[in-house]
Amino acid sequence: MAVSTNDLKNGMTLDLAKEGLYSVVEFQHVKPGKGGAFVRTKLKNVRTGAVIERTFRADEKLEQAIVDKSDTQFLFRDGDDYVFMDQSTYDQTTVSPASLGDAINFLKVGDPANLQTYLDEVIGIELPASVELTVTETEPGVQGDRVSGARKSATLETGFVVQVPLFVNEGDVIKVDTRTGEYITRA
């Protein structure tokens, strides 16, 4: 579906034929004193996460990509692939790790996820802002070791390694920010 650059909105997904799928991060209409108006945009590649800046003429036509989002639940791993179940139709979808990106660091069985598809291809996943994961391996905390800001490495149940405060021990459940991969708090 063709849209004008005058109709751009943040979060809109565009299919730039040669470059691929891009999501509009921000845009600005500019009308200089001389010459024609133009639209300055910042676009994020949906698959790779790379951000580019692009300038379009005002009223230029672009192809909008209609991205479907479906509420799913992560069921299990099948070899290297991940299997999700649609919450409304109960259909199962097998997704490669490349399509999920860094989200695989935060997925555990039974977690909800929002799969994004374009032309029957999974192009991304939206997770909750934070998830609770169990610490499987870390150095033990020492009583009285409360230096402010000191951190140590901890391996989580998904295999992801995160920096945590010294008082966190094996078996603790912690909250991790899925956008940055940082420790938030103990759960």
Q: pTM of the prediction?
A: 0.68
* Dist CA 174 CA 162 (whole Å): 10
Domains in the chain, CATH or no CATH each: 2-63 (2.30.30.30), 68-126 (2.40.50.140), 130-186 (2.40.50.140)
pLDDT of the chain, 187 residues: tens digit per residue? 788 877 888 888 888 878 788 888 888 888 888 888 888 989 888 777 788 898 888 888 888 888 888 888 888 888 888 898 988 888 888 888 877 878 888 888 888 888 888 888 888 888 888 888 888 888 876 666 566 667 888 888 888 888 888 888 888 888 988 888 888 888 7
